[in-house]
Amino acid sequence: MQYQQVCLEALAYTLPEERVTSDEIEARLAPLYTRLRLPAGRLELMTGIRERRFWPVGTLPSSQSIESCEKVIACSGIERSEIGALVHASVCRDHLEPATACRVHHALGLPAECQIFDMSNACLGILNGMLAVANMIELGQIRAGLVVGSEGSRQLVETTIDTLNRDLNLSRDDVKLAVASLTIGSASCAVLLVDRRLSRTQNRILAATARANTQFHHLCCSGQDEAVADGMSPLMRTDAERLLEAGIATGAETFTTFLADIGWQRDQIDRTFCHQVGSGHRKRMLDVLGLDAARDFTTLEVLGNTGSVALPITMAMAAEQGLLTAGDQVALLGIGSGINSLMIGVEWQHALVQAAESPAVEAESPAIAGAD
């Protein structure tokens, strides 16, 4: 997929105030740890995740998505009348129907002609949404579009803790299938794409490559549809070791095609952003792809795995901190359960980022970086 007319104009994110450390989760798992004689500190040691965040009880994904969208509209200066599409692309949504995008669209006061829909594809949802909007812009159907997602983790983590403590038949091998569920964090991120003739930044999306390897669709599964935010009690089983191996293999195949599609060499990539699963996954992926870890940026240590939000919010925070500069060739390297991989190449010029008001974010908000 090649693009000539699409710019990644602005990013915005919102974070919960409540922080939950891996040590706190292990303290709540004391009955399990005692019974199986598990050493303290293993959760952070295995994943590299020190903490993750939770929204307040009862928070709807749409509420946070509205906030993130308001921020991205404010920092971009775009007129709402120009926005021709809105995609809500997180795993979490308000209800089975109507689309969560409906409430977001109403609250933002977007035009009636604006196309709105939900899109879900595990951790790739926002990246898929970006391509859907990019295609509309490239075809001349719209001038600008919003992609947003808000992931919540409290219900999954708390249900997992309760289940692990109550089931006295679990073995150490059984516990391994639940570890990934304990890494999940909450966050919200919005991305604004525009026609380059409307752009203030000229951050051009150049190309994208997608690959599906669905023979591994069973390696990470929740129960039946548990996406409804209010009152859900989700559980998820993840064969993390096999998922890592199959995911990285799929990513490597995608990356080879991506380099050919965009016409880059590995050493021409100035900055990479990967899905934020864990430190071991990141290291293996960069090693296999032959990429320099010094050019990669992570948020997993303090945000955990925030699903579809993970990659775009990591890019937003890097831009906010001035780590993207004019002329950088940037690779978004997405891998999601299923297994699917999606990689997007961006030629960066300027940053427009509206951040959350959070102690974890040092740069001022909004930030305009990379202009020099």
Reported pTM: 0.89
pLDDT tens digits, one per residue of 72-108: 999 999 999 999 999 999 999 999 899 999 999 999 9
Mean pLDDT of 326-344: 91
What is the number of alpha carbons within 13 Å of residue 159 lying toward its C-beta? 17
CB 367 within 8 A of CB 75: no
Cα separations in angstroms, 147 against 240, 246, 264 = 29, 28, 27
pLDDT tens digits, one per residue of 352-367: 876 555 444 333 333 3
- Residues marked active site are found at 97, 123
pLDDT higher at 215 or 55: 55
Q: Which two tokens stand for residue 26?
A: 């292990």
pLDDT higher at 342 or 123: 342
Q: Which residues of 273-283 are buried (b: 16+ CB within 10 A; e: fewer)?
A: bbbbbbbebbe
Spacing of C-alpha 304 from chain mean position: 11
User: Apex CA 212: angle with CA 223 and CA 97, to 5°?
Assistant: 45
E-state strands within the chain = 6-14, 18-21, 51-54, 83-88, 115-118, 144-151, 187-195, 204-212, 220-222, 236-238, 271-274, 329-336, 340-347, 353-354
The amino acid present at 151, given as its one-letter code, is: E
State the CB neighbour count (10 A cutoff) for residue 27. Answer: 11
User: Apex CA 150: angle with CA 145 and CA 153, to 5°?
Assistant: 165
What is the average pLDDT value for the chain, to the nearest integer?
Answer: 88
CATH hierarchy code of domain 1-357: 3.40.47.10
